[in-house]
Amino acid sequence: MSQTGGRARRVDAQANRGRILDVAEDVFGKGGATASTEEVARLAGVGIATVFRHFPTKAALLQAVLIRRFDRLREQAEALLDTAEPGAAFFGFFRHLVADAATKIAIGDALLDAGGDDDGEAARASAGLRRAVGALLDRAQRAGEVRDDVELPEVYALLVATSRAAAHPNLDAEVSARVLDIVFAGLAPIRPATGAR
């Protein structure tokens, strides 16, 4: 085996892995736990054996999809940490996460059904995203664009709650946008003089 041949095979293997993950993200995002690994192989144009060589179990495949997704979102959040408008960065990323959630939630639920996140790698990637959102929140608060008496736990709980609401098939996009308008008004720095308690 030549060195060049070995490298070419490694490059092919990486390309296969990436294509499998792309397809799996799409297939499991739409179908959740009911989608099959066979369908992923077929749509990725590889044999089922190739899928299993990269991902020995359905749980391993789902976990890899979720980790890549959390990592990508974390990188997007981190890229916003040096923008000139910390408020727009925070609220914009909040909106982006909610819009992205419909498929992320289906994949997370499918992973639970498939046996879960054994070694905690998906949980670690999720915690990384949460930290990046915390950094965006902190920056928006220091800029006076988010009220300074809220903390990450309640903000993240709202993010998850509104994401799950948006992922529900009965909630249309317009209502979902108005839900976020209410939440964002509640996070804004100048608080109302009356009501609300």
CA–CA separation, 37 and 114 (whole Å)? 12
Q: Which is nearer to its own copies, 42 or 147 (CB)?
A: 147
Q: Does 124 bind its own copies (CB under 8 A)?
A: no
- Half-sphere exposure at residue 83, Cβ-oriented, CA atoms within 13 angstroms: 18
CB 86 within 8 Å of CB 139? yes
Q: Of 27-35, 45-53, 69-77, 137-145, which segment contacts its own copies by CB under 8 A?
A: 137-145
Q: Which of 64, 98, 85, 73 is nearest to 182 (CA)?
A: 98
Q: Does 1 bind its own copies (CB under 8 A)?
A: no
CB 59 within 8 Å of CB 115? yes
Residues 4-33, one symbol each (x = binds its own copies by CB under 8 A, - = not), give ------------------------------
- Give residues 144-183 in contact with its own copies (rule: CB under 8 A): 144-147, 150-151, 153-155, 157-158, 160-162, 164-165, 171, 175-176, 178-179, 181-183
Q: Which is nearer to its own copies, 43 or 165 (CB)?
A: 165
Q: Does 135 bind its own copies (CB under 8 A)?
A: no
E strands of the chain, at which residues? Answer: none
Q: Which of 149, 143, 18 is nearest to 72 (CA)?
A: 18
CB of 195 to its own copies, least distance (A): 4
CA–CA separation, 50 and 14 (whole Å)? 12
Interface positions with its own copies (CB under 8 A): 87, 91, 140, 144-147, 150-151, 153-155, 157-158, 160-162, 164-165, 171, 175-176, 178-179, 181-197
